[in-house]
Structures are given as structure tokens and as C-alpha cells.
Amino acid sequence: MKLIIYSVREAEKPYINAWAKENGHEVEMVDKPLNAKTVKLAQGYDGVSIQQTAKLGDAKIYEELAAMGIKQLSTRTVGVDMINLDDCKANDIVVTNVPVYSPRAIAEMGVTQAMYLLRRIADFRERMAHGDFRWSDDLISNEIYNLTVGVIGLGNIGGATAQIYKALGARVLAYDPFYNVEYEPYVEYTDFETVVKSADILTLHTPLLPSTENMIAAPQFKMMKNNAYLINMARGGLVNTSDLIDALENHEIAGAGLDTLADETTFFSKQVSPDKIPADYKKLAAMPNVLVTPHIAFLTQTSIRNMVEISLNDVVAVVEGKHSRNEIRM
């Protein structure tokens, strides 16, 4: 089979080449996204894999793909919003995504951030940079096995997070409206308020929905322990950023580890000039008890390999007329 793969990143190439060799397929790698200018490159190929945030284009692209005999589009991402599903349906094009590629990648970043904050690494660096190597009482840390971790959203990533904290000896409380027996060995399920009030580390892993937006705001910061750390690896909109800044300034919580911010799309994953960086971010980044990373928790070798392999296996399955469990319902 001949596959064309759009928007290929350097880091993906070894995995694509290994997959092609192992499965005996021919692959063409293109560094550009699929759009009106590049759609012609798909002529003569059996299947297509993409990875882009920009929309493919208008209905004509889907008609052109169908006219070339393309029966599927497989995106190496979770989101499918760059694809017009109505146009796919109209042209009998099956769409697949990669809904789960490595929950552990995000879970480990959350735990790493919590440990960095807990052990006061930024404070030590700052003081040592100024020649201060003293042991001072205000730098005494806690050990994870003595702490209570609160997980909000016990799905793939929250579940992996709970397992890591449990393995480190912590007591793990969790709130999720849906009970999952798989996580029973690692957590004590309880209600949202109990988790927020009891946690020394409160870690968020829910999708952003109308029901979860601003789930952590001024009232929740007031409920949290003063020594608690908030970890948000999910979506910025779950936390009210200005209330978070107030809570940090008023010492209502001890610190925060954030891989996402509500207004991140204007600057995360981009090179921007200092005047384009939001004031909220600047305030947070200047606090030694806050760690911000640019929505990068997912970026591990395992994730890249899985995104490539799952997507390309789905191309083959759909082209061969089989079903993939990653097909998007249209």
C-alpha cells in the first residue's frame, strides 16, 4: 500500500520509516499540511495521514480527495476540528483520530511539576545563584508518602496519575462523576468538595466543558489547604487565572504547576515578542512557587511513536475495508 503523510516532523521520521519497513508499505513524507495547494500530492496514493491545526479548506478538497480514490483521512492528533466532517460524509471519507497516545506522558509531567514545587527547587536555584548555600527552616519540604493527593477527573490521564502517586505511597482521593472499577486499587472515590479540601496536591484531569469551566476559582482556593499545590495538566479554562493569582499572592495555596493557561493559544507553541506575552502569564512566571510549561506534557518519544503507529495502522485498516475503533462518528 502507498501512503502519503502530511506535516511530518523530523522527530516522527524514524518511527514512520520503522513502521513502513516492518509492515511493508510505501510512505511519502511531506513537511507541508494538507490544503488546496498540496492536495494534488495525494494523487496515486491509497491512504492519507495528517497532523495540523489549520483547516484543510473548503468542500472542493474533499471532492478532489474522493475523485483520487481516497477513502479515509487519519489525523495523528486527538482533535479533528481541522477536518469538515460533513464534507467527509458527503464524499464517503472515513475519519480516524488518535484519542489516547500516552496518558503516562501527561501524568508524569504533573507529578514532576508537583515534586519540583514540593522540594522547592526554584528557591534553591535562586538562592544559590546569589551565593546563599545555607539550610534555612523556610526551605523544609514534605515527602509525598505523607501527603494526600486529590485527583479531579479519573480518566486515562487522571488514572495514570493516581497510580504513580499511589506507588509513591500517597493517599489518593478522587472525584469523577463516573465510577471506574479499574482505578479502585489506587484511589478512594469521594465528592468534589472533600477532594478540594483534603488535598496537599490537587491535580486536574477533566476535559474543558461548560460544567468544568472555572471549576477551581476563588471559593475553591478558599477551601484548599494553605500548604496545597494546584497542578493543572488538562485545560487552562478549568482554573480562573486571576483568582489563582490572588490565591497565590494571599498565600491561600502554596504554589501551582500549570501546563495550560486559559489564554494560551495566543502564545503557547509560538515564538512571540515580550509585548505579546499576556500580563497574567508574566505575573505567574515571576513567582518562584509557580511553574508554567507551554502545553507540552504530551511531548515524549512514546507519544510521538504511538501517534504515528496508531494513525498509520488506521490508514491501512480503513483502506482494506476493516473497521478502526478510532473512527469518528459522523
The catalytic residue positions are: 235, 264, 295
Q: Please report how close the Cβ of residue 238 comes to ligand NAD at its closest, in angstroms.
A: 8
Asked if 136 touches ligand NAD (CB under 6 A), the answer is no
CB 181 → ligand NAD: shortest distance, Å? 13
Per-residue x/- track, 146-185, ligand NAD (CB under 6 A): ------xxxxxxx----------------xxxx-------
CA distance 186 to 170: 10
The reply to whether 205 sits near ligand NAD by the rule CB under 6 A is yes
Residue 67 CA to its chain's centroid (Å): 36
Q: Is 237 in the site for ligand NAD (CB under 6 A)?
A: no
- Cα(81)–Cα(54) distance, integer angstroms: 9
| Only segment of 3-11, 23-31, 89-97, 290-298 that touches ligand NAD (CB under 6 A) | 290-298
Q: How far is the CB of 239 from ligand NAD (least distance, A)?
A: 12
Binding of residue 206 to ligand NAD (CB under 6 A): yes
Q: Write the interaction track for ligand NAD spanning residues 42-71; mark x where CB under 6 A is met and - where it is not.
A: ------------------------------
Distance CA 56, CA 84 (A): 8
Q: Does 297 bind ligand NAD (CB under 6 A)?
A: yes
What is the per-residue DSSP string for 114-142?
A: HHHHHTTHHHHHHHHHTT-----GGG---
When CB distances to ligand NAD are compared, the closest residue is: 155
Interatomic CA distance for residues 102 and 104, integer angstroms: 5
Report the candidate in 112, 249, 207, 220 with the shortest Cα–Cα distance to residue 168. Answer: 112
Interface pick for ligand NAD out of 98, 234, 307, 312 (rule CB under 6 A)? 234
Based on the shown chain and the rule CB under 6 A, indicate whether residue 305 belongs to the binding site for ligand NAD: no
Nearer to ligand NAD, 133 or 178 (CB): 178
Nearest residue to 4 via CA among 80, 68, 78, 58: 68
Q: CB neighbours of 273 closer than 8 A, spacing ≥ 6?
A: none
> Taking the complex as a whole, how short is the minimal distance between the CB of residue 90 and ligand NAD, in angstroms?
29
Please say which residue, 237 or 255, places its beta carbon nearer to ligand NAD: 237
Are the C-beta atoms of 5 and 49 separated by less than 8 Å?
Answer: yes
CB of 192 to ligand NAD, least distance (A): 7
For 288, list phi and psi in degrees, rounded to 5: -70, -20
Should residue 76 be labelled a site residue for ligand NAD when binding is judged by CB under 6 A? no
Report if residue 75 touches ligand NAD, rule: CB under 6 A: no
Whether the Cβ atoms of residue 78 and residue 291 lie closer than 8 Å to each other: no
Determine if 120 is a binding residue for ligand NAD (CB under 6 A): no
Dump strand ranges (E) for the chain: 2-5, 26-29, 47-50, 72-75, 94-96, 148-152, 171-175, 188-189, 201-204, 229-232, 255-258, 290-292
Least distance in angstroms from the C-beta of 295 to ligand NAD? 5
For residue 195, give the 3-state DSSP assignment. helix
Of 177 and 185, which has the nearer Cβ to ligand NAD?
A: 177
C-alpha cell at 191: 465528592
| Contact positions vs ligand NAD (CB under 6 A) | 103, 106, 152-158, 175-178, 205-208, 211-212, 233-235, 259-260, 295, 297-298
